[in-house]
Chain A
Amino acid sequence: MKRYRADLHLHTVLSACAELEMSPAAIVTTARQRGLDMIAITDHNSTLQTKVVKELGEEVGLTVICGVEVTTREEVHCLAYFGEEERLDQFQAFIDQHLPILPLLPGSYQYQAVVDKSDGIVRLIDNFLNVGLQKSIDEIEAEVHRLGGLFVPAHVERPLFGLYSQLGLLPDGLQCDGMGIMWRSTAADIRNRFRIPAGLPLMRASDAHSLEEIGLGYTELEMESCTFDEFRQALQGIGGRSVCCD
C-alpha cells in the first residue's frame, strides 16, 4: 500500500470563473511541480475539457480523473467522477438535456473555452454553464450511480452552493461516496459542525480557479496504485485502503 496525494476539485479555462491561465498543459505541469499524484478536472456542468488533461497527464505519470462539478436544481454543487469514457459521455448527454440555456452576458469578459494540448482554442461555449440543472440532487445522484460514477457534494461548508447552506440537512437516503471540504477547513471541525455520518469520508481539495491555488488543499489516498478503481475502493475503505485529510 502506498500513500498518494490527490487534489480532486480543479477548474480549467472552460469554467467562466477560472483564470485564462488554467489550460490543460499548465494545470498538468503545475500539479506535478506541487507533488500531486492524482488530480480531477471538475468544471461547472461540463466534462468537455477532461479528456485532454487526462491524456497530458498520462504523458508525465499524473493520474487525471474525469469529472464535473454539477449544479443541482437546489443549487448544490456536487462533484461526479467517472472511470470510463463512455459513461462520462453519457453523463455529458444528461447535462446537455437538463441544463437551461442562458447566454453569457455580452461584455462580461467571461470565457468558457475548450482548449487542446498546446493551448489552442478548439471551441468556445456560448451558453452560461454556471446554472442549475433542472434535476434535483437526488435525481442527479441516482444518474451518477446508474452510470457507475462517484458522487461527492462539493465544499459542503460553503455558505452558498454547499449542501448544508442549500438544504440545511443531509437529505435522507441521499447516497454520497464522500463529501468535499474547502482547503482552509479541518476535517474534525466540519464533522463536528454538521454531524457528518462517521462512515462518510471527507475529501479536502483546492477548488482551484488559478494555477497558484492548485494543491493548496489535498487529500491523502492510501491505495495499491493510483487509479480510478483504487480511488473508489479507498472511498469505500476496502482492503485497508483509506482516504485521509485530517
Chain B
Amino acid sequence: MKVSELVKELNLVVFSGEEGLNREIRGGYVSDLLSDVMGNATEGEIWITLQTHRNVVAIASLKELACVLLVSSLKPEQGTIDHSNSEGIPVLGTTCSTFEIAGLLYQKIKG
C-alpha cells in the first residue's frame, strides 16, 4: 500500500515530505525510543510515535522507513518539518492514540 492511499483511507494529516507520498508501506513499527527504532525497525515500515523531534526524520531516513506517523494530535517541530521536506519522507498525523491507530493500521497492512 502506498503512503498516499493510507492517508486517504485513515484520514491522516500530511504535515510535510509530500514528495514521498508514493512510497510503499511494507509493515509498521511502534516505538518512542529512537535508539530502538535505529536498532530494530525495517526498511519500508511506517513508524508510529509520539516523538516530534527532528531526529525522528534523521532516523527514518537512515533506516529508509516509508513515513512517520505522529499520534494524539501531536505536531512536528519546525526542524522536523524542514528535514522531512528535504529528505522527502512524509510526516503524518492523526488524532487517534497509538493503540487505536496501530490497531487500524494492522488491519490495513496485515489483515
Residue ranges of A at the interface with B (Cβ–Cβ < 8 Å): 73-74, 136-138, 159-160, 164-169, 171-172
Starting from the known contacts A138-B79, A165-B34, A169-B38, 16 additional A-B residue pairs (CB-CB under 8 Å) come to A73-B52, A73-B53, A74-B53, A136-B52, A136-B53, A136-B77, A137-B53, A159-B35, A166-B34, A167-B53, A168-B34, A168-B35, A168-B55, A168-B59, A171-B53, A172-B58
Closest approach, in angstroms, between the C-beta of A166 and any C-beta of chain B? 6
Which of chain B's residues have a CB closer than 8 A to the CB of A137?
53
Residues of chain A with a CB closer than 8 A to B77's CB: 136, 138
Q: 1/0 contact trace for B50-79 toward A, CB 8 Å?
A: 011111001100000000000000000101
Taking the complex as formed, is B12 at the interface, i.e. its CB lies under 8 A from any CB of chain A?
no
Does residue B37 face the partner (Cβ distance < 8 Å to A)?
yes
- Shortest Cβ-Cβ A-B pairs, 10 listed: A168-B34, A167-B55, A168-B38, A165-B35, A168-B59, A168-B35, A167-B34, A74-B53, A171-B55, A168-B55
What residues of A have a CB within 8 angstroms of the CB of B37 in the complex?
Answer: 168
**Residues in chain B near residue A168, CB distance under 8 A:** 34-35, 37-38, 55, 58-59
Please state if A171 and B35 are interface contacts (CB–CB under 8 Å).
no
How many pairs of residues, A versus B, come closer than 8 Å at their CB atoms? 43
Q: Give Cα distance in the complex from A165 to B77, angstroms.
A: 20
B33 touches A165 (CB 8 A): yes
- Bound: A160/B58 CA distance, A: 20
User: Which of A74, A136, A169 lies in contact with B58, CB distance below 8 A?
Assistant: A169
- By secondary structure, the B interface counts as helix
Of the A-B pairs whose beta carbons lie under 8 Å apart in the complex, a sample of 16, sorted by A's number, is A73-B52, A73-B53, A136-B52, A136-B77, A138-B79, A159-B35, A165-B33, A166-B33, A167-B35, A168-B34, A168-B35, A168-B37, A168-B55, A169-B58, A171-B54, A172-B58
Chain B residues with Cβ under 8 A from A160's Cβ? 33
Please give the residue numbers on chain B whose beta carbons come within 8 Å of chain A beta carbons, in ascending order.
33-38, 51-55, 58-59, 77, 79
Q: What CA separation (Å) do A168 and B77 show in the bound complex? A: 17
Q: Return chain A residues, CB-CB under 8 Å to B33.
A: 160, 165-166
Residue of A73, A138, A164 near B35 (CB, 8 A) is A164
Which residues of B sit under 8 angstroms from A136, Cβ to Cβ? Answer: 52-53, 77
Q: How far is the CB of B73 from chain A (nearest CB, A)?
A: 14
Q: Shortest distance in angstroms between B33's beta carbon and chain A's nearest beta carbon?
A: 6
CA distance A73 to B58 in the complex (A): 18
Residues of chain B with a CB closer than 8 A to A169's CB: 34, 38, 55, 58-59
Among A73, A166, A167, A171, the one with the most B-chain Cβ atoms within 10 Å of its Cβ is A167
Give Cα A74–Cα B39 distance, bound, in whole angstroms: 18
A135 CB to closest chain B CB, in angstroms?
A: 11
Tell me how far the C-beta of A95 lies from the nearest C-beta in chain B, rounded to whole angstroms: 20
Closest chain B CB from A153 CB (angstroms):
13
- Bound-state CA distance A172–B86 (Å) is 15
Report how far A74 CA is from B54 CA in the complex, Å.
11
Provide the bound-state CA to CA distance between A159 and B53, in Å.
19
For the complex, give the distance between the alpha carbons of A16 and B90 in Å.
40
Q: For A159, what are the chain B residues with a Cβ–Cβ distance below 8 Å?
A: 35
Residues of A within 8 A of B53 (CB): 73-74, 136-138, 167, 171
Closest A residue to B63 using CB positions: A168
